[in-house]
Structure 1
């Protein structure tokens, strides 16, 4: 009796599996051509879109590489110089901050030296407002420093701020009547 029930369960289970497999196969065999074409169009659209995106990326990469090669040939020295000034600027800023945080008393000459170097770095990096700020800090302690006054005047000339440049060149003439830069500008 047990064997008979077991065979009947297997028979029903096998019949059910066969029926489900038959239904799946019938579904795939009865697919409309419309369904297949939609999928094909979808694939073509995706391939076209990805191809277009790839093309645009390649064009941008070519522009970048071309610019880099031209820049490398013509401006390697300038780029290295900018890197060096950026690195120096960071070192001087860190020295000031380290001395301030650790309450280390620096001499006025040391602080002014750091201000002049930071100003020079900003000047070379064409960050003129920051350079003016640090040169001005230097001049608060030593207002007759010819080197700093010349640097400040040259920055104002670069910015086409002729009134400020003229004012500084007049100070330079008062300090050193033979100053070549000031005489040249005032003539």
Structure 2
């Protein structure tokens, strides 16, 4: 029996910013690239209303993870119910992703490591060690870390560890 590999590719719906958004994201993450661009043609113009030659989809990879960006019009927008989590080993790495992803985004949407980028997409920029802290069997330690987390916008690994350690 042959082994089937399943690939899940998130498809992000944009009004008409798919190419700009893909280029923005590719510029932030290492080992990232645009893989393809498809364009609208005459077919279906009465349905989609897009000009022939305008971008339909952009395939791209962020550090090896495939994504599709679709220019589907203003019908749907992003909300906080879906976000992408970026796990970081160091504060420098966390600062890099936080600063770049939040540039031009919604400052009011920043809380507990969450941010909303300039396209309205939500991201969680978190230290890799956070889940170990929050699930530590010593509830006093985990609760101290959680209390510290709730007071932060951009996460501070040293402050989280200090709270965790008491």
Q: TM-score interval w.r.t. the shorter chain?
A: under 0.3
Structure having the larger proportion of residues in helix: 1
* Higher alpha-carbon Rg: 1
Structure showing the higher strand proportion among its residues: 2
Higher RCO, Cα 8 Å, sep 6+: 2
